[in-house]
Amino acid sequence: MGRPVRLDELQTPALLVEAERLDANLRTMSDALPGTRLRPHVKAHKCTALARRQAQRGHAGFTCATIREMEGLAAAGLGEDLLLANEVVDARRLSALDARVTVAVDSAETIAAAADAGLHEVLIDVNVGLPRCGCAPDRAGALADLARSRGLGVRGVMGYEGHAVGIADRGERERLTAESMEKLLAAHVDVGGEVVSAGGTGTYDCNAAATEIQAGSYALMDTTYAALDLPFELALSVLATVVSVADDYAVADCGLKALGMDHGKPAIEDAEVWFCSDEHVTFAPARRLHVGERVRVWPSHVDPTVAYHACVHLVSGDRLVETWPVDLRGW
């Protein structure tokens, strides 16, 4: 074996995960939501190695956002219970998987796509307040009947209170979650089935109505979720190299093409981030930096940040522990 690679030898920008913080986050969540109470959402990390860590903590079922994620988990032997929590109108690739496959449906067309592909199980996706996918709650029962008429098993309902998960005020977050779950439970009465699937990292501990929580960001975290009262640590950063220095600012090689920016600017310790451009972040550090120094850039949104990178480096201090491919990227 060769000598261990040091962090200062990595080409930047490089995606880093603090091993001890990751382990702490996984432990905290599995203690709070053991076994099937958590259906981890792999869209947040797109990495089968990390999914395997989650499975080792007793979470055998996974939530996916893309067909590619479903395929990758099945190929990795993690297909015990996979949910595609997004609607698709061409589900043929899913029928070939060696896995238990459930898909979300919210229309006659998506029900037909599941049935025509030879799939067996669906959840009725219900709009509980976030104007994205999901049927109106009072239409859920009719869609369940239609699905059953096409030979599909209806496992229950799902809904995502995405408009609530990032609310800073916990009381308001709880209120919106309860309001959303009231709609989902009303739909569940009409639909039947054993599953009420909902939730995310921001509402994992205030959504008692759901039988399973689809949290994902908790494992790696980002600065947006870190601003809430959650017991999870920032584990993911982008290692960057300072490439230019002026009197009152510095520039590092980590920009829009390495960071998810839809939730705002990233953070750098002891510095004010001014802006990001394609390949650069411009920031005002508390002390004068030198060209060649390394900085950690903490993203505001973990999911798209990970998807920009081909691999993630698991680190402990300044030591590289392991490198994992981000092998669930793409569609």
Please say whether the beta carbons of 203 and 165 come within 8 A.
yes
CA 69 – CA 71 distance, rounded (Å) = 5
- The closest alpha carbon to 79, from 51, 105, 104, belongs to 51
Q: Give the rounded percent of residues in the chain with a pLDDT score beyond 70.
A: 98
Q: How many domains does the chain have?
A: 2
Q: Is residue 198 part of a domain?
A: yes
pLDDT of residue 213: 98
pLDDT of residue 177: 98
Q: Give the rounded percent of residues in the chain with a pLDDT score beyond 90.
A: 96
Mind listing the pLDDT tens digit for each residue in 173-188? 999 999 999 999 999 9
Burial of 249 per CB tally in 10 Å (0-12, 13-18, 19+):
middle
Please check whether residues 212 and 254 belong to one and the same domain.
no
Q: Is residue 293 part of a domain?
A: yes
Task: Work out the average pLDDT over 274-290.
Answer: 98
Rounded alpha-carbon distances, angstroms, from residue 278 to 188, 256, 257, 259? 46, 5, 6, 10
Q: Is the pLDDT of residue 244 over 90?
A: yes
Q: How far apart are the first and last CA of the chain?
A: 36
State the average pLDDT for the chain.
97
Confidence of residue 293 (pLDDT cuts 50, 70, 90): very high
Q: Is residue 169 part of a domain?
A: yes
Q: Is residue 330 part of a domain?
A: no
Residue that terminates a domain, selected from 220, 255, 280:
220
Specify the pTM.
Answer: 0.96
- The closest alpha carbon to 215, from 228, 196, 202, belongs to 202
pLDDT of residue 8: 85
Q: Is the pLDDT of residue 6 over 90?
A: no
pLDDT of residue 25: 98
Confidence of residue 1 (pLDDT cuts 50, 70, 90): very low
pLDDT of residue 64: 98
pLDDT of residue 3: 54
Residue 14 pairs with which residues in a beta bridge?
239
Mind listing the pLDDT tens digit for each residue in 193-227? 999 999 999 999 999 999 999 999 999 999 999 99
Q: Is residue 309 part of a domain?
A: yes
The single residue listed with the structure tokens 């908790």 is 218
For residue 91, the enclosing domain spans 20-220
Please check whether residues 186 and 93 belong to one and the same domain.
yes
pLDDT of residue 4: 57
pLDDT of residue 2: 52
Run of H or E including 21: helix 19-32
CA 273 – CA 38 distance, rounded (Å) = 35
Question: What is 98-155 written as a DSSP string?
Answer: SS-EEEEE-SHHHHHHHHHTT--EEEEEB-SSSSSS-B-GGGHHHHHHHHHHTT-EEE
Q: Is the pLDDT of residue 306 over 70?
A: yes
Residue that terminates a domain, selected from 200, 220, 240:
220
Instruction: Collapse the DSSP code of 61 into the 3-class scheme (helix H, G, I; strand E, B; otherwise coil) and give the result.
Output: strand
Residue 239 sits in a domain whose CATH number is: 2.40.37.20
Quick one: CA torsion of 83, 89, 95, 99, rounded to 10 degrees?
Answer: -10
Residue that terminates a domain, selected from 190, 220, 250:
220
